Amino acid sequence: MKLSFRWYGESDPVKLKYIRQIPKMRSVVTAVYDVPVGEVWSRESIAKLKEDIESAGLIFDIVESVPVHEDIKLGKPTRDKYIENYIENIRRLAEVGVKVICYNFMPVFDWTRTQLDKELEDGSTTLVYYKNQLEKMDPLTGELALPGWDSSYKKEDLKDLFEEYSKIDKEALWGNLQYFLEKIIPVAEENDVCMAIHPDDPPFDIFGLPRIITDENNIDRFLKLFDSPNNGLTLCTGSLGCTKSNNIYEMIDKYSAQGKIHFMHVRNVKILDDGSFEESAHCSDCGSLDIVEIMKILHKNKFKGYLRPDHGRMIWGETGRAGYGLYDRALGASYINGIWETLEKLK
């Protein structure tokens, strides 16, 4: 297992020197954030990331994420230009030693929550998805300020995107994903890079937009679109595990045994009676997922991929990017590492 930590670059209040102080921390998960979606990342920006991370005593060998342009998802005539740019980004990242690239194929919105700062009983704040809050939201008229919603979209752009997505169904989205994979995976193979798709979060349709990386059947279908060791998964326990219809333990067992999990996002969620959920501390007793069992499965299957503690609560008065504070994610990393170390010693 390669322990890693998400970092948002020089503007991130979490500094690399603090990440370095987390026991057993190995890799930094980051990206180039000052380039519009669909454009080529400069070699200078990539080299700067590598230099900063290595100067802090860490490793730059995984990227999250290289975003997929909406024209690719929609299958528009312009998609080939953006796919060529994507391919060039794969090549440039491979040049500096990147081995895994995380991405997603969610239309318009990335991971979506309805509240940033829900206060829990212990006084910490967390990210939540409440169905009754979502029902009151209209992305075409409301404020675009929730995590996972790209605030770079103007309302006029969103209206156009919704109109375009209304003309395609899930089968068309599957076809567009296959077209994308057929172009990029051979390049990933040539450059020794593993592509790791992130599941839809949450794993069901949002605002009528289709989502397809949602459950075991769909993940099986995805993996068959292009059968390659370099075509695999970012398996996020909180994304797939936030609905009781997914057996997260069976899925992790199956795909880790197949060697299809290149990247693990480990976090816990508390599933509510109506299907809503709250993100919780990482420990097994803190939410609905048994993190110890998840780590046992990965250990049994000799998981050697990358793993990072995913979203954390904001604790001890920390401020900054909701879900991405230092303290709770550092606790999560130590908790996960403690489980792994125990399993290693019990072999």
3-state secondary structure of 28: strand
Pairing of strands 125-129, 277-280: antiparallel
Pairing of strands 100-103, 59-64: parallel
Residue at 285: amino acid letter: D
9 conformational bin, left if phi > 0, alpha if psi -120 to 50, beta if neither: left
Is 265 among the residues known to form the active site? Answer: yes
Identify which of 90, 99, 104, 102 has the alpha carbon closest to the alpha carbon of residue 177.
104
Q: Which member of 71, 200, 201, 310 is catalytic?
A: 310
**pLDDT beneath 70: ranges in the chain:** 142-153
Q: Which member of 61, 69, 198, 201 is catalytic?
A: 198
Residue 152 pLDDT: 60
Is 262 among the residues known to form the active site? Answer: no
Q: Which domain holds residue 291?
A: 2-345
Distance between CA atoms of residues 188 and 100, nearest Å = 9
Instruction: Tell me the CA distances in angstroms from 120 to 259, 283, 286, 322, one per residue in order.
Output: 37, 15, 11, 14
As given in the structure block, the two tokens for residue 214 are 């949602």
Q: Which member of 265, 299, 306, 328 is catalytic?
A: 265
Distance between CA atoms of residues 347 and 343, nearest Å = 6
Distance between CA atoms of residues 314 and 330, nearest Å = 12
Is 310 among the residues known to form the active site? Answer: yes
Any idea what the CATH number is for the domain that residue 207 is in? 3.20.20.150
Is 324 among the residues known to form the active site? Answer: yes
Residue 141 pLDDT: 72
How many domains, the chain? 1
Q: Which member of 129, 130, 255, 324 is catalytic?
A: 324
pTM here is 0.95
As given in the structure block, the two tokens for residue 36 are 């519009």
Distance between CA atoms of residues 95 and 63, nearest Å = 13
Distance between CA atoms of residues 170 and 326, nearest Å = 38
Identify which of 311, 271, 275 has the alpha carbon closest to the alpha carbon of residue 290.
271
Residue 109 pLDDT: 85
Distance between CA atoms of residues 319 and 305, nearest Å = 31
Is 198 among the residues known to form the active site? Answer: yes
32 conformational bin, left if phi > 0, alpha if psi -120 to 50, beta if neither: beta
pLDDT tens digits, one per residue of 329-342 = 999 999 999 999 99
Residue 149 pLDDT: 56
As given in the structure block, the two tokens for residue 17 are 């020197």
Residue 147 pLDDT: 52
Instruction: Tell me the CA distances in angstroms from 286 to 83, 124, 127, 333, one per residue in order.
Output: 42, 13, 14, 15
Is 227 among the residues known to form the active site? Answer: no
Distance between CA atoms of residues 81 and 298, nearest Å = 39
pLDDT tens digits, one per residue of 165-208 = 999 999 999 999 999 999 999 999 999 999 999 999 999 988 88
Residue 195 pLDDT: 98
Q: Which member of 236, 253, 286, 335 is catalytic?
A: 236
Residue with tokens 């503007």: 11
Name residues whose C-beta falls within 8 Å of residue 310's C-beta, 6 or more positions apart in sequence.
6, 236, 237, 238, 265, 266, 267, 329, 332
The H or E element spanning position 238 is helix 237-240
Residue 111 pLDDT: 84
Name beta bridge partners: 27.
Answer: 4, 59
Residue at 93: amino acid letter: L
Q: Which member of 86, 311, 328, 335 is catalytic?
A: 311
